[in-house]
Amino acid sequence: MNEKIKGKRVMVVDDESDLTLFFSMTLEYQGFVVDAFNDSRNALSSFKPDYYDLVVLDIKMPGMDGFELYKEIQKIDNKANVCFLTASELYYEEFREKEYNALDKNLFIRKPIGNDELIKEINRFVENKEVV
């Protein structure tokens, strides 16, 4: 367990419950405190400014996608440290070109992802605070 990350708070939002479970178990094992949500609106209503060290948002979700949720989170806390999950290259490129072309490509985590790679990526975001 990395003492630098022990107790760091991460919010994970993905409409696939198996993925939020995987993320929660993997990150909690490493010492993170994880709040996982399968619904964007529930995540938004539970979001607290200056509370999370990282917010991980799936891009493609029903109702409110990850980019829309990001916009809403920014209204509450414009310093929130956010990264995005994507399994679809086309969806990712389409939205980056339309509205989110200023987002750094390094702020995206590709699904599927293994445990070791997930921890490496989350550590990078938490330790470097690569805020969007």
> What is the per-residue pLDDT across 57-78, written as a single tens digit (0 to 9) for each?
998 899 999 989 999 999 999 9
* Number of C-beta neighbours around residue 38 at 10 A: 18
Nearest to 131 by CA among 68, 78, 65: 78
Q: The whole model's pTM is what? A: 0.86
Per-residue pLDDT at 109: 85
For 79-97, write each residue's pLDDT tens digit: 999 998 887 654 555 555 5
Please give the single-letter amino acid code of residue 37.
F
DSSP state of 51: T
CA distance 14 to 16: 5
- CA 32 distance to own-chain centroid: 14
